[in-house]
Amino acid sequence: MQDLEKRLSELKGEFLQVYEKLAIADKLALKQSLEKEVAEPDIWKDVATATAKNQELSRLSDEVQPWELLKTQINDMGELIKMADDDLKDEMGEQISAMETELRKLRKALRFQGPYDKNDAIVRITSGAGGTEAMDWASMLERMYLRFFEKKGFKVVCLERVSGEEAGIKTAVYEVSGANVYGFLKSEYGVHRLVRLSPFNANNLRQTSFALVEVLPVIKADTEVVIDDKDLRVDVYHAGGHGGQSVNTTNSAVRITHIPTNTVVAIQNERSQLQNKEKAMEILRGKLVQMQLEQHAETIGELRAGESAGWGQQIRNYVLQPYKLVKDTRTGFESKEPDKVLDGEIDEFIDAYLEDMV
């Protein structure tokens, strides 16, 4: 029985570590307090308040219940091991395995504790220096992510797409919606590097290309991110060019510059100037929040220009020649099947990054 006691002790230690990190005891106390409040008949004199408290109670119950159940199971198993004989050893081993599996499942709740992890996301792919080669690489990344979004069941809307003159794309911007989208995709923010034999070079030489992937939280409410109007410059111009879905002769396209950080967002795909401005502000809020996270600034007003990670942060190498390997520079996770990765199978890279953060 000693081996079972050791496994259970290790399981209990890991459980308590995560239990405390998620402040489950505090949430349980809040849940019990809310249960007393909603049980009072007078609470329904204010329907809005009562409804809000009931929704909060339901959310807390869903979050706390599996942790309390597992805690009870671990404690009960400890008592059972003390009393049981060897005939139950295999059965108890299977029960401990099931509890270990459940804890691994619950640990994933730690992955999305960031302030914007549950938000939708804006994904912007930009080709780096290198002309057609880099633009082709940007389009390969675009395809990879679209395949990944499709497999995850995320909703995707193209906000802007500017094609290259010969091949590929200069830039593509997508709004991605679904459960914990920003929490999933924040791992992809940074520079992606490709090494391959160039299909655009007559001598078929090995070529290195770069593309920048930006992942920004969607923040629709301007109350979440306060931006001083005097810090903004808004320019309007004719919508047109590659990717314009509503090309016309009116000044419907909008470019917004956040002057203190020199952050620029331009949108022309919506049907009206007002819609383009709203979408540009949505993206700008996400950009400034991303900078705030990078610079560890408490407010938008503390942000400094030129200190975004941007092109200075290479996160992943995709090598197709002289060997096949995709390796993340942050986690060390790698795959020797780049074809599968470029076909949208990037879950393991994302999981490795998120596990590193726990």
Residue 22: how many CB atoms within 10 A of its CB? 18
Q: Look at residue 144 in the predicted model and tell me its pLDDT.
A: 98
Name the nearest CA neighbour of 340 among 329, 356, 324.
324
State the average pLDDT over residues 51-63.
88
pLDDT tens string 89-114: 889 999 999 999 999 888 877 788 78
pLDDT-derived band at 223 (thresholds 50, 70, 90) equals low
Measured in whole angstroms, how far is the alpha carbon of residue 348 from the centre of its chain?
14
Q: What percent of the chain has pLDDT over 90?
A: 50
Q: Indicate the domain borders of the chain.
A: 2-112, 121-216+306-357, 229-302
State the average pLDDT over residues 82-88.
84
pLDDT-derived band at 222 (thresholds 50, 70, 90) equals low
Q: What is the mean pLDDT of the chain?
A: 87
Q: For the whole model, what pTM was predicted?
A: 0.73
State the average pLDDT over residues 296-319.
74
Lowest mean pLDDT segment, chosen from 18-27, 137-146, 208-217: 18-27
Name the nearest CA neighbour of 214 among 311, 329, 115.
311
pLDDT tens string 151-162: 999 999 998 899
Fold of 2-112: Methane Monooxygenase Hydroxylase; Chain G, domain 1 (1.20.58)
Q: Which CATH class is domain 121-216+306-357?
A: alpha beta
Q: Look at residue 355 in the predicted model and tell me its pLDDT.
A: 82
Query: Does residue 242 register a pLDDT over 50?
Result: no
pLDDT tens string 243-301: 444 444 567 889 999 998 888 998 887 778 888 888 888 899 898 888 888 877 777 77
pLDDT-derived band at 306 (thresholds 50, 70, 90) equals low
Query: Does residue 302 register a pLDDT over 80?
Result: no
State the average pLDDT over residues 190-212.
88
Query: Does residue 72 register a pLDDT over 90?
Result: yes
Q: Look at residue 244 in the predicted model and tell me its pLDDT.
A: 44
Q: Look at residue 356 in the predicted model and tell me its pLDDT.
A: 73
CA distance 171 to 153: 23
**Full strand arrangement of the beta sheet holding 314-319:** 155-163, 169-177, 121-127, 206-217, 190-197, 314-319, 325-328, 334-335
pLDDT tens string 28-40: 999 999 999 999 9
pLDDT-derived band at 62 (thresholds 50, 70, 90) equals confident
If you count them, how many residues does the chain have?
Answer: 358
CA distance 310 to 112: 23
Q: Look at residue 323 in the predicted model and tell me its pLDDT.
A: 93
Name the nearest CA neighbour of 191 among 138, 259, 236.
138
Q: Look at residue 243 in the predicted model and tell me its pLDDT.
A: 44
Contact 303, 296 (CB under 8 A): no
Return the HEC string of the chain: CHHHHHHHHHHHHHHHHHHHHCCHHHHHHHHHHHHHHHCCHHHHHCHHHHHHHHHHHHHHHHHHHHHHHHHHHHHHHHHHHHHCCHHHHHHHHHHHHHHHHHHHHHHHHHHHCCCCCCCCEEEEEEECCCHHHHHHHHHHHHHHHHHHHHHHCCEEEEEEEEECCCCCEEEEEEEEECCCHHHHHHHHCEEEEEEEECCCCCCCCEEEEEEEEEEEECCCCCCCCCCCHHHEEEEEECCCCCCCCCCCCCCCEEEEEECCCCEEEEECCCCCHHHHHHHHHHHHHHHHHHHHHHHCCCCHHHCCCCCCCHHHCEEEEEECCCCCEEEECCCCCEECCHHHHCCCCCHHHHHHHHHHHC
Pick 161 or 205 by higher pLDDT.
161
Query: Does residue 229 register a pLDDT over 50?
Result: yes
Query: Does residue 201 register a pLDDT over 80?
Result: no
CATH of 229-302, one of 3.40.30.10, 1.20.1630.10, 3.90.1200.10, 3.30.160.20: 3.30.160.20
Joined together, the tokens standing for residue 221 give 């409410």
